[in-house]
């Protein structure tokens, strides 16, 4: 190594070693990670609970920061949120461990006959919130993601059936049918996501007044989405098969639900 190169190294060390990260940097990193993870979870979660009272996402588990985007799907309260104790499993072979974490047994499939196959699963804790946004309990939930060849996704949410007064359906489902002694409910909900400071037009208000139509605050821009669900309860376990802006129609979701029930 030539002399000038040695001097470059020395100069870089002298200059570089004066620099240390600020104490706030790690907090910023953690906060950003939490926000991104929270948003990912929330995107799936916040809009799907048609079977639960209209909800407000108001707080998160103590170990996570309050998110900047808060979706409110109505005026009342209900539940939700919290990704404390969150565990992700990439392989379907880890189902036993996932069930152990969830704390109860349930039915699931690795691959559906329409080509949707297992992608990943998570086990997390959901907080129950009262009208004032206070947490009054939690329950464990298993979430599975399935994708087809084109990357379309369908999610399956499973938790132990909650007491009736906490799961009072705000609106009647669009369709209902029996399958092997199990009652399946189908609902199709339209959501309009708007920024926190968005002012509703008359047209928006009319949209919000319709059944199965909701306006949620907290997105970066105005977006519209359609969520289709098939839900059922079996052996004390509640299932919610859910697709967002998906090519899957009602009959497709019923068929997939049937495969889970028959598993």
Q: Which residues bind other proteins (CB under 8 A)?
A: 2-5, 7-22, 25-26, 28-29, 32-33, 36-37, 86-88, 90
- Do the Cβ atoms of 186 and 254 come closer than 8 Å? yes
Smallest gap from residue 36 Cβ to other proteins (A): 6
Give the separation between CA 2 and CA 11, rounded to whole angstroms.
14
Q: Between residues 87 and 224, which has the closer beta carbon with respect to other proteins?
A: 87
Tell me, rounded to whole angstroms, the distance of Cα 256 from its chain centroid: 20
Smallest gap from residue 154 Cβ to other proteins (A): 21
What is the residue whose two structure tokens read 């996932």? 98
Give the separation between CA 69 and CA 71, rounded to whole angstroms.
6
CB atoms within 10 A of CB 61: 19
Q: Between residues 11 and 226, which has the closer beta carbon with respect to other proteins?
A: 11
Give the separation between CA 88 and CA 56, rounded to whole angstroms.
25
Give the separation between CA 62 and CA 216, rounded to whole angstroms.
24
Smallest gap from residue 27 Cβ to other proteins (A): 10
Q: Between residues 120 and 161, which has the closer beta carbon with respect to other proteins?
A: 120
Smallest gap from residue 28 Cβ to other proteins (A): 5
Smallest gap from residue 5 Cβ to other proteins (A): 7
Give the separation between CA 175 and CA 36, rounded to whole angstroms.
35
Q: Between residues 31 and 212, which has the closer beta carbon with respect to other proteins?
A: 31
Q: Between residues 14 and 96, which has the closer beta carbon with respect to other proteins?
A: 14
């Amino acid at each position: 190594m030539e002399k000038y190169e040695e001097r470059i190294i020395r100069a870089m060390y002298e200059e570089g070693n004066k620099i240390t990260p600020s104490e706030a940097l790690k907090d910023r990193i953690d906060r950003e990670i939490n926000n991104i993870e929270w948003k990912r979870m929330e995107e799936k979660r916040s809009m799907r609970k048609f079977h639960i009272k209209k909800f407000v996402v108001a707080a998160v588990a103590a170990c996570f920061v309050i998110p900047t985007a808060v979706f409110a799907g109505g005026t009342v309260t209900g539940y939700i949120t919290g990704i404390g104790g969150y565990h992700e499993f990439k392989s379907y072979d880890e189902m036993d461990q996932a069930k152990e974490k969830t704390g109860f047994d349930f039915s699931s499939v690795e691959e559906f006959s329409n080509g949707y196959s297992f992608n990943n699963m998570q086990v997390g804790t959901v907080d129950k919130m009262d009208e004032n946004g206070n947490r009054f309990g939690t329950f464990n939930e298993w979430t599975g993601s399935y994708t087809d060849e084109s990357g379309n996704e369908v999610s399956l949410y499973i938790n132990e059936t909650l007491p009736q007064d906490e799961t009072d359906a705000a609106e009647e489902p669009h369709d209902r049918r029996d399958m092997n002694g199990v009652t399946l409910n189908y609902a199709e909900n339209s959501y309009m996501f708007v920024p926190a400071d968005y002012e509703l037009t008359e047209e928006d208000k009319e949209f919000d007044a319709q059944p199965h139509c909701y306006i949620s605050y907290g997105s970066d821009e105005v977006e519209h989405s359609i969520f289709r669900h098939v839900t059922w309860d079996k052996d004390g376990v509640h299932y919610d098969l859910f697709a967002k802006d998906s090519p899957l129609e009602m009959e497709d979701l019923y068929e997939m639900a049937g495969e889970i029930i028959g598993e």
